[in-house]
Amino acid sequence: MSGDEIDLGKRNMITGAVVATGGVGAACAALPFVSYWQPSVAAQAAGAPVEVDISDLQPGEQRVVEWRRKPVWIIRRTEEALKSLQGHEANLRDPESLESDQPAYATNETRSLKPEYLVMAGICTHLGCSPTYAPEEELESGWTGGFFCPCHGGKYDLAGRVLEGVPPPKNMMVPPHYYLSDTVLLIGEDEGVA
């Protein structure tokens, strides 16, 4: 396992322990709809790109898939979610994602190929916990919801951009991906690289 690949089982245990001890705070008050999708055993073993059908993903819904032992989130953002990304750059550590990990096509305000869909590794850039999807929370002024990491209070907006003044050093990572069709994503590979 390489340095940036964090054991999914251990991370989930850490997050579960924090939840069990009540460390999550207000961010878990509203639980958005989350669905899970598991690639085939052969695809997991090979670390191969993962094909995901998103035709039934509803606005606001989060889907979690596993790629190279990482949880990858696919979130269909609502119009309100997209609006929330604007006008709070001063509260962000790296608003233009200049020091963060993403393909060139995701170095934009929404950090995505299509504004409506966010594809992102669900791993906090501090010590690797898995943050909570909290799209409508407002834990402090200037943050209209996004992702909250219960381990040490990391906060990100709905493009995975980290707020100033919290422990994570950079925005969450966007893996290589592209659309095979309007409703099918391939995660783990850039277009034309196969």
Contact 94, 70 (CB under 8 A): no
Shortest distance in whole angstroms from residue 155 CB to ligand FES = 9
CA atoms within 13 A on the CB side of 52: 30
Shortest Å, Cβ 150 to ligand FES:
8
Residue-wise burial string across 17-41, b where 16 or more C-beta atoms lie within 10 A, e elsewhere = ebeeeeebeebbeeeeeeeeeebee
Question: Is 152 tagged catalytic?
Answer: yes
Nearer to ligand FES, 15 or 188 (CB): 15
Tokens (6 digits) for 139: 């834990």
Question: Is the CB of 76 or the CB of 152 nearer to ligand FES?
Answer: 152
Q: Residue 85 or 149: which CB sits closer to ligand FES?
A: 149
State the minimum distance, in angstroms, from the CB of residue 19 to ligand FES: 13
- Picking from 34, 29, 10, the residue whose alpha carbon sits closest to that of residue 127 is 10
Binding site for ligand FES (CB under 6 A): 124, 126-127, 129, 149, 151-154, 167-168
Q: Indicate which residues carry an active-site annotation.
A: 152
